[in-house]
Amino acid sequence: MTRKIAILPGDGIGPEVVTEAVKVLKVLQERYGLDVELEYGLIGGAAYDVHGYPLPDTSLDLAKVADAVLLGAVGGPKWEQLDRVLRPEKALLGLRSELKLFANLRPAILYPDLADASTLRADVVSELDIMIVRELTGDLYFGEPRGIRQNSAGEREAYNTMIYSESEIERIARVAFETARKRKQRLCSVDKANVLEVSQLWREVVTRVGNEYPDVALTHMYVDNAAMQLVRAPTQFDVIVTGNLFGDILSDQASMLTGSIGMLPSASLDEDRKGLYEPIHGSAPDIAGQGIANPLATILSVAMLLRYTFGALELASRLEGAVATVLGSGLRTLDLHPAPGRHVGTADMGNAVVAAL
Ligand code: IPM
Ligand code: MG
């Protein structure tokens, strides 16, 4: 059965890193019998420029019929002045909610060869292997009411709603417990239960779901403490589960432990494991078009796609092994090795992974 992957390169470095990931997919197709069909669509600023809208119906329909979506990145200064509903980021949020991709998996793994690229001491990050499970379709990101209004004093005020229902908390908790079960059986739930009612309910529901997973050791941590612990002693964590906003922040922080945000892939899954796969780094407009972006996060996103949506575990490990081989051979993009003259470009890195495959 041929499966379809929707390819949405997007903006900034998105198209550059996706090009390398597609090279990898082609090799898997030609040499390893991966039966897939790739279909391209526009998203973000690139779609706005053509259609006047960042998530055109053609792209949304394509994402809906596809078995999986591979996305580059969206956004850039060119579109920053647009109305909120027309901004590139809106397309990504729209895809997440339209496709009901509530479970966002963001692994932060330190490749041994990159210990020196981390801004933390090598002994602090050694053997780091964290999985952040971020809720992706609720919280302040989607809560209503929201807006900017005039208050009674004639001053503008802005408001958003932090809101989670029990069922939303329960389903993300289940994903996290199942994930922990397959790893080191440790789950840390991150909230702000000392201040927020939303977090109070979050903690209550996660604890209740935990009763069904006696084999998983559940702990709770306030988000401010979690941010501190992530840089103090990050290897204490196995799986972290948290809401949309806290997860957004903590996953960027965790990414730097691994040496570069250019290394981190992600999977956003629905109830049936259909998924959208993307690097977590964003469009990086400052380096777009220069051919220096690190394509490894996108290539590793392909590995996650193989594992989670296609269940092709062996191919996924093979691809991750190829990335490890390339890093072991000393190849570094600029983000991993800022010393002048000692780095390779985006295409060279992609070609090296292809060769290692
Ligand atoms: C991410 C990004 C997005 C988010 C933006 C681009 C809307 O930061 O995927 O982490 O906030 O979720
Ligand atoms: Mg983010």
129: annotated active-site residue: no
Contacts with 75 (C-beta within 8 Å, 6 or more apart), sequence order: 11, 12, 44, 45, 87, 88, 89, 282, 283, 285
**Per-residue pLDDT at 126:** 92
Atom of ligand 1 nearest to the CA of 75: 6
CA angle 270, 300, 331 (to 5 degrees): 165
**Per-residue pLDDT at 259:** 84
Local structure of 173: helix, strand or coil = helix
Contacts with 49 (C-beta within 8 Å, 6 or more apart), sequence order: none
First to last CA, the chain: 24
Helix (H) or strand (E) holding 68: strand 68-73
The tens digit of pLDDT for each residue in 142-188 reads 999 999 999 999 999 999 999 999 999 999 999 999 999 999 999 99
Domains 1-102+270-357 and 111-266 share a fold: yes
In the set 49, 61, 224, 286, the catalytic residue is: 224
Local structure of 294: helix, strand or coil = coil
In the set 248, 274, 308, 335, the catalytic residue is: 248
Greatest Cα pair distance, the chain, in angstroms, is 68
192: annotated active-site residue: yes
The tens digit of pLDDT for each residue in 190-247 reads 999 999 999 999 999 999 999 999 999 999 999 999 999 999 999 999 999 999 999 9
Q: Is the CB of 92 under 6 A from ligand 1?
A: yes
* 64 pLDDT higher than 80: yes
Higher per-residue pLDDT: 305 or 114: 305
Contacts with 250 (C-beta within 8 Å, 6 or more apart), sequence order: 132, 190, 223, 226, 227, 230, 240, 242
pLDDT range class, residue 339, cuts 50, 70, 90: low
Please tell me the class of the 1-102+270-357 domain. Answer: alpha beta
What's the mean per-residue pLDDT of the chain?
Answer: 95
Q: What DSSP character marks residue 313?
A: H
Q: Is the CB of 248 under 6 A from ligand 1?
A: yes
Give distance in angstroms: CA of 12 to centre of ligand 2: 16
Q: Indicate the domain borders of the chain.
A: 1-102+270-357, 111-266
Q: Whose CA is nearest to atom 11 of ligand 1?
A: 248
pTM of the model: 0.94
224: annotated active-site residue: yes
Domain covering 111-266: architecture: 3-Layer(aba) Sandwich (3.40)
Atom of ligand 1 nearest to the CA of 136: 12
23: annotated active-site residue: no
